[in-house]
Structure 1
Amino acid sequence: MSEIEKYDATSIKVLEGIEAVRKRPAMYIGDIGEKGLHHLIEEVVGNSVDEAMGGYCNNITVKLNIDGSVMVLDDGRGIPVDEHQEMKKPALEVVMTTLHAGGKFEGKSYKVSGGLHGVGVSVVNALSEWLEVEVRRDGHMYVQRYERGETKTALEERGATKKRGTKIIFKPDSSIFETIELSYDIVKKRIRELAFLNKGLCINIIDERTDTEETFKYDGGIKIFVEEMNKGKEVVNKDVIYFEGKEKDIIVECAMQYNDGYTEKVFSFANNINTIEGGTHLSGFRTALTRTLNTYAKNSKLLKDDKAPSGDDYREGLTAIISVKVPEPQFEGQTKTKLGNRDVQGLVEALAYEHLSIYCEENPKSARAIVGKALDASRAREAARKARELTRRKGALSGSDLPGKLADCSSNDVESTELFIVEGISAGGTAKQGRDRRHQAILPLKGVILNVEKARVEKMLNNEEIRTLISAIGTGIGIDEFDPEKLRYGKIVIMTDADVDGAHIRTLLLTFFFRQMPELIDRGNIFIAQPPLYKIKRKKRQEYVYGDKELQESLISIGIDEAVVETCDKEPLRLSGDKLKKFLGLLEKMEEYNSHFNKKKQQNKK
């Protein structure tokens, strides 16, 4: 028996501040993958947006630099630089190096902010290889640099300026994150969202790596947001229903419009944070919507022999944004995905009921069309229930009667089994030949499956391929009947061809899972097979690669396999293997920088 390791008071390590963040980064930013990486940008931009919400900032610029760093610039008040009374150092340094330090706690500097429950810029600093901050304030410019969260230089004044604001440049630490490759699309999506939620705020995003630049400014705010989401769809009410109100420093804003689809797209935000789990503001809106429309339907004698539609019926085809600005938000959990302020629910409900009632009275044609759509949804729901019962009796929705085209596996251990959904019967035959019969099942689907986004439940249940899919997976579908305990396979792998048709089928399958079995996505049961784009072969060595960048790296790696580079000096330097590979990587990076600077030079000449 091995000696028991000493365990006493000396074994207890207390992590404080920056050290704790670097030791356990996922506790502060969720993970150290792509999501956590982009959360750093969101935190810094969030501070600038808080300035905008307070009425102090009109313009924000976000730039993804060619060296992998990020710049965020605003024209707000600038972070204070005078000495902090308790800490005896500049307030800027306190904000950048101390957890839970900032101007959002007393409610004096910011009436509303999204950062109180956030991780703050100090965590961004801690998880960056380096960070530089410039503050323009009170006619002066101040600069300070940090490395891995620690102060590197003292606060330095660098001349006079008429401008004001804060500029932060930081480079994520590659020793912390799985990847430091920033996605323009991810950053752009959030920037665009923030521009919609803060009408009149101008946010500019620049990607120096690809010479891309876009500016987002929406004077119509969330009203334009709803119009954008319904673009290309047949709308029920032509004009977006919009209202806003303020009470006890709580600001409520709502925009909504119906389309002829069957999917509810209602998004809620609190202090610019996407509350994906909803909360009191969403509950208040939903209650008011159902109550208002049922009251109107009853008073206008639109129900006749029909039952009053349910809340789900009234939300079919609804696109809506509910945004609240709350001085002291109570979020459930560090991730801020659900708002908990009880007073917000009553306020949103009263405001929505008042404005929707007025809208119905002033726009009877649209109101009748909305109620009529809900009645159709109610009747379709009842028809779907009957269709589901009939289909279940035939065994198509239960795992007890498995589809004939399914080549099942022999193991009953859910954790170790995989279901491969393949495109076409012929592909199914090939997949069967290469599978492990014990753990891998193959389900070939014929042709393009039904787009469930544009079909009601009863039509979906009459589709043979959809029924086959439901039966093979075994969980059932929908909010009321989905049971994850009945899942027959731990991994469900979508394996379509690497072409346009394959991408289309993959999208339709993902849409089905997202609408009918979303918990499988949340639980991490859905996978997409990624076919390689290239095969590289040299002598006995061969590799499969999945993209152009990886192709370039593999070509270099294989090409220099047995190569040696030697300088012509008296004491020659020899490079081979990993050293040569690293050297070539640096040359490639220099070539990339040179190309970028030459482009900039040409642009400046013009």
Structure 2
Amino acid sequence: MPESYGADSLTVLEGLDAVRKRPGMYIGTTDSQGLMHCLWEIIDNAVDEALAGACDHITVTLHEDGSVEVADNGRGIPVDIEPKTKLTGVEVVLTKLHAGAKFGNSSYNAAGGLHGVGSSVVNALSSRLDVEVDRDGKTHHMAFHQGHPGVYTDADPAHPSPDSPFKRTRKNRPTELEIIGRVPAKVTGTRIRYWADPEIFNDTARFSYDQLIDRVRQTSFLVPGLRITVVDEHIPATGDETIDEMREIDETSDETPGEGSHGTADEETESAADAAISGESVAIVAARTEAARHTHRRIEEFCHTGGVKDFVDFLSNGEPVSGIWRISGQDTYDEETQAVGEGGELHAQKVTRDCAVDIAMRWINGYDTKVLSFVNVVETPGGGTHVDGFLASITRQVRKAVEDNARRLKVNLKDANMRVERDDIMAGLVAVVTVRIAEPQFQGQTKDVLGTAQVRPIVAKMTDRQFGEMISGSKRGYKDQSSRVLDKIVGEMHARIQARKTKEVTRRKNALESASMPPKLSDCQPGNDDVAELFIVEGDSALGTAKAARNSAFQALLPIRGKILNVQKASLSQMLSNKECAAIIQVVGAGSGASFDIEQARYNKIIMMTDADVDGAHIRILLLTLFYRYMRPLIEHGHVYAAVPPLHRIALAGSHKGEYIYTYSDDELEGRLVDLDRRKVAYNPDIQRYKGLGEMDADQLADTTMDPRTRMLRRIRMEDAAQAADIFSLLMGDDVPPRKRFIVDNADDFDRSKIDT
């Protein structure tokens, strides 16, 4: 009988307890990604002050004790009493969910932190959080432990610690801000320092310095004139030359937020836009960058004045086909929203919103696309209505321009197949799409996709007008550029049409020839495409065992002989003439390169099953290089895996005779043996070590490596395409000296456990 279920079975979580109970609802995960998300929430709040015109300098400090501090010279969190809760503004912001100044229309017209949970969630998930606020000529201080206000007694106030004795403020008692110093009346700002709670975040959670630098650099482009300094105390300084040099540069700069060229829609040529950025500003930024790299990475500082134009220039890797084109403007839209009344009640209210649009774009040679989108400096990786409006408009305007220039471009308008598609336009496009609006509607707290529907027609209308003049060549100074862009787009269209024709011929041939598949392929039964698995097996000896271990209903086997061709160094013709590479592409059945069509792939999982040794690891990286260069969507959509065969087998004895334990590394073996000795479980001291997959019998291989019920697979992911391209070029390319430097520089940090993850 089930237990009785009544009202006494219900649990009510008060305050921030719900955040600690279900942190994934607020930050996504409790690994490194969630740890960085907390940092973004605090940084975004500081950036919001810059967007409001109240802040021009933010400092992010990674302290040696693992804490993080974000300081800004904005207006400072309010320190007076909030009438409804009778608490100070500091305590309200840091302890109450959905509380802040971003739900109205006056304090923040465009903000990144919009759901009112950022600071309070970080506070709840921190073992300690200290906040200092400069306002009204005083420095105010308050401390929290796991979201609860109170007082720490630090043995050394200069080195606060979450382990110091803590006295919690009694419930329902107001917590007064402690005044710890005085500042000039005009000095304002907020400093938040927090220690992530190890009870919440798992052992693998780590701050990523590179992600932080990328995010800070990105923000400096999006908020022209905002100076952001990153201090990393984990890396010891080798001298004071860099810091002194940066201070001297900073003293010579008289920049204020908003100064410098932001560009307008009326810029006539790229050279005119470039000339709008003062030589002094460029020199300052260049000198700061050089100074930061001079001896160490302890301090890096970012400040840009060109906005999204500079951002696109930074993102452009390749020979430019066009200059940087700028689309900008402002419009309004009406929206019905819930407003907070004087008594705290919600009521529907129709408001007029401002929408500022700023887009920069250019085409470069190549077919890779790089389109980044932002709402109030918060990146929207999933796009949204602003990106939809932009892409729909440029597609419409390019098609119109192609029709108007059909004779010169040699486009037959009567041929239905000769129609420009969005993929043709996106090839080689580098663009940054930004909008600033009040209270945007995001899909989820992680703000991946903008959902405000009224933004789409505004962006589309501006793009239609301004981009239409550029691509048609009617705007002065754009005729030659638009001609080059149209030539490139039509070239991509012809290449796509030709590739499709070639693919259709190949498919017809494969359908007619029963012997089209390599004879060494042991295919699975048809009709199981949604679960079919292709195991790429190293060697014929392993193939024999795998045939007996597999489930032929949905598992296919393709053996390869040793190490395949390194396609990073080889040409396309060399790759296609290589029997092993050609066989893999043929068996996968979805083509290769730009014509690759993942919908035609014959298998749901591609599993690399190689020996658990150095040679096996080398074969895996060669296979991954082939997939990355010629079948990249397989990796992007998560269809490529690495099998994880065991290294050792422990045969138990005594009462456990006939039972086996498999281990996958020397460290795991040592730990298992220690555990068995501690538990006094007998085992055969002659530990079997597998030199290859062929040494296992069929049952062992099935249980450990092939049976979906008991095996372990590692999915190959590619979270950063640009970084992946750089890594493949570095590790597998022709240029040896950079690879040698990389190996030497990272030898001390080598972690064997991270191989293949």
TM-score, with structure 2 as normaliser? 0.62
Describe the SS at the equivalent of 2:229: strand
Aligned-partner residue type, residue 449 of structure 1: V
Corresponding residue number in structure 2 for 1:489 = 605
Corresponding residue number in structure 1 for 2:385 = 280
Corresponding residue number in structure 2 for 1:526 = 640
Post-superposition CA distance 1:216-237 (Å, at most 9, x none): 2221122122112223x11111
Relative distance call for 1:295 and 1:413 in structure 2 (3 A) is closer
Alignment partner of 1:384 is 2:384: no
Query: What pairs up with 1:249-268 in 2 under 5 angstroms?
Result: 249-268=354-373
Aligned-partner residue type, residue 81 of structure 1: V
Q: Decide which of 438, 442, 450 is 1:331's aligned counterpart.
A: 442
Relative distance call for 1:296 and 1:408 in structure 2 (3 A) is closer
Post-superposition CA distance 1:471-523 (Å, at most 9, x none): 54467789995349953437567999699997576355345554x346632xx
Describe the SS at the equivalent of 1:302: helix
Tell me, in whole angstroms, the C-alpha distance in 2 between the residues paired with 1:241 and 1:502.
43
Superposed displacement of residue 448, structure 1: 2.2
Corresponding residue number in structure 2 for 1:42 = 40
Aligned-partner residue type, residue 446 of structure 1: I
Corresponding residue number in structure 1 for 2:404 = 299
Gaps (5+ residues) in structure 1? 533-541, 563-606
Tell me, in whole angstroms, the C-alpha distance in 2 between the residues paired with 1:294 and 1:348.
18
Superposed displacement of residue 182, structure 1: 1.3
Relative distance call for 1:492 and 1:269 in structure 2 (3 A) is farther
Query: What pairs up with 1:125-204 in 2 under 5 angstroms?
Result: 125-153=123-151, 154=175, 155-162=177-184, 163-179=187-203, 180-204=205-229
Describe the SS at the equivalent of 2:79: coil
Tell me, in whole angstroms, the C-alpha distance in 1 between the residues paired with 2:95 and 2:439.
24
Tell me, in whole angstroms, the C-alpha distance in 2 between the residues paired with 1:480 and 1:513.
6
Alignment partner of 1:63 is 2:179: no
Describe the SS at the equivalent of 1:262: coil
Describe the SS at the equivalent of 1:63: strand
Corresponding residue number in structure 2 for 1:243 = 327
Relative distance call for 1:10 and 1:91 in structure 2 (3 A) is same
Maintained 8 Å contact 1:398/1:471: no
Post-superposition CA distance 1:409-443 (Å, at most 9, x none): 89998899865557xxxx54576588684268455
Between the aligned residues of both structures, percent identity stands at 37
Could you tell which deviates more after superposition, 16-25 or 209-218?
A: 209-218
Corresponding residue number in structure 1 for 2:427 = 316
Tell me, in whole angstroms, the C-alpha distance in 2 between the residues paired with 1:254 and 1:463.
45
Corresponding residue number in structure 2 for 1:506 = 624
Alignment partner of 1:222 is 2:308: yes
Aligned-partner residue type, residue 98 of structure 2: H
Relative distance call for 1:376 and 1:494 in structure 2 (3 A) is farther
Relative distance call for 1:485 and 1:507 in structure 2 (3 A) is closer
Maintained 8 Å contact 1:43/1:120: yes
TM-score, with structure 1 as normaliser? 0.77
Relative distance call for 1:132 and 1:428 in structure 2 (3 A) is farther
Query: What pairs up with 1:333-482 in 2 under 5 angstroms?
Result: 333-359=444-470, 360-361=473-474, 362=476, 363-395=478-510, 402-404=517-519, 406=521, 419=534, 428=539, 432=543, 437-438=549-550, 441=557, 444=560, 446-449=564-567, 468-473=583-588, 482=598
Post-superposition CA distance 1:288-318 (Å, at most 9, x none): 2122233333334534443442222122111
Post-superposition CA distance 1:130-160 (Å, at most 9, x none): 1111111121111111111111234211111
Relative distance call for 1:398 and 1:204 in structure 2 (3 A) is farther
Maintained 8 Å contact 1:96/1:122: yes
Describe the SS at the equivalent of 2:301: strand
Maintained 8 Å contact 1:203/1:215: yes
Tell me, in whole angstroms, the C-alpha distance in 1 between the residues paired with 2:402 and 2:527.
52
Tell me, in whole angstroms, the C-alpha distance in 1 between the residues paired with 2:229 and 2:618.
33
Tell me, in whole angstroms, the C-alpha distance in 2 between the residues paired with 1:399 and 1:214.
62
Tell me, in whole angstroms, the C-alpha distance in 1 between the residues paired with 2:114 and 2:326.
29
Tell me, in whole angstroms, the C-alpha distance in 2 between the residues paired with 1:398 and 1:289.
43
Superposed displacement of residue 38, structure 1: 0.8
Maintained 8 Å contact 2:608/2:643: no
Maintained 8 Å contact 2:596/2:631: no
Aligned pairs, number: 531
Corresponding residue number in structure 1 for 2:157 = none
Tell me, in whole angstroms, the C-alpha distance in 2 between the residues paired with 1:107 and 1:150.
30
Aligned-partner residue type, residue 319 of structure 2: E
Superposed displacement of residue 339, structure 1: 1.6
Maintained 8 Å contact 2:588/2:601: no
Describe the SS at the equivalent of 2:207: coil
Describe the SS at the equivalent of 1:205: strand
Relative distance call for 1:318 and 1:415 in structure 2 (3 A) is closer
Relative distance call for 1:497 and 1:64 in structure 2 (3 A) is farther
Tell me, in whole angstroms, the C-alpha distance in 1 between the residues paired with 2:30 and 2:565.
39
Alignment partner of 1:20 is 2:131: no
Post-superposition CA distance 1:99-129 (Å, at most 9, x none): 1111100021100112114741100111111
Relative distance call for 1:326 and 1:50 in structure 2 (3 A) is same
Corresponding residue number in structure 1 for 2:114 = 116
Tell me, in whole angstroms, the C-alpha distance in 2 between the residues paired with 1:142 and 1:321.
40
Maintained 8 Å contact 2:535/2:606: no
Superposed displacement of residue 367, structure 1: 0.5
Query: What pairs up with 1:457-606 in 2 under 5 angstroms?
Result: 468-473=583-588, 482-483=598-599, 487-489=603-605, 506-507=624-625, 509-510=627-628, 512-514=630-632, 516-517=633-634, 520-521=637-638, 525-527=639-641, 544=665
Could you tell which deviates more after superposition, 501-510 or 10-19?
A: 501-510
Superposed displacement of residue 467, structure 1: 5.7
Tell me, in whole angstroms, the C-alpha distance in 2 between the residues paired with 1:221 and 1:209.
31
Tell me, in whole angstroms, the C-alpha distance in 1 between the residues paired with 2:40 and 2:439.
20
Aligned-partner residue type, residue 223 of structure 1: K
Superposed displacement of residue 352, structure 1: 1.4
Maintained 8 Å contact 1:275/1:336: yes
Relative distance call for 1:119 and 1:399 in structure 2 (3 A) is farther
Tell me, in whole angstroms, the C-alpha distance in 2 between the residues paired with 1:23 and 1:398.
60
Maintained 8 Å contact 1:329/1:339: yes
Tell me, in whole angstroms, the C-alpha distance in 1 between the residues paired with 2:46 and 2:71.
8
Post-superposition CA distance 1:222-261 (Å, at most 9, x none): 2122112223x11111x21123211222111111111110
Tell me, in whole angstroms, the C-alpha distance in 1 between the residues paired with 2:64 and 2:643.
31
CA RMSD between the two structures: 4.0
Superposed displacement of residue 405, structure 1: 5.1
Relative distance call for 1:93 and 1:118 in structure 2 (3 A) is closer
Could you tell which deviates more after superposition, 139-148 or 13-22?
A: 13-22
Superposed displacement of residue 451, structure 1: 9.3
Describe the SS at the equivalent of 1:56: coil
Maintained 8 Å contact 1:78/1:136: yes
Relative distance call for 1:204 and 1:291 in structure 2 (3 A) is same
Tell me, in whole angstroms, the C-alpha distance in 1 between the residues paired with 2:461 and 2:316.
27
Tell me, in whole angstroms, the C-alpha distance in 1 between the residues paired with 2:514 and 2:113.
48
Describe the SS at the equivalent of 1:76: coil
Could you tell which deviates more after superposition, 288-297 or 142-151?
A: 288-297
Maintained 8 Å contact 2:540/2:559: no
Describe the SS at the equivalent of 2:142: strand
Superposed displacement of residue 215, structure 1: 1.4
Maintained 8 Å contact 1:418/1:492: no
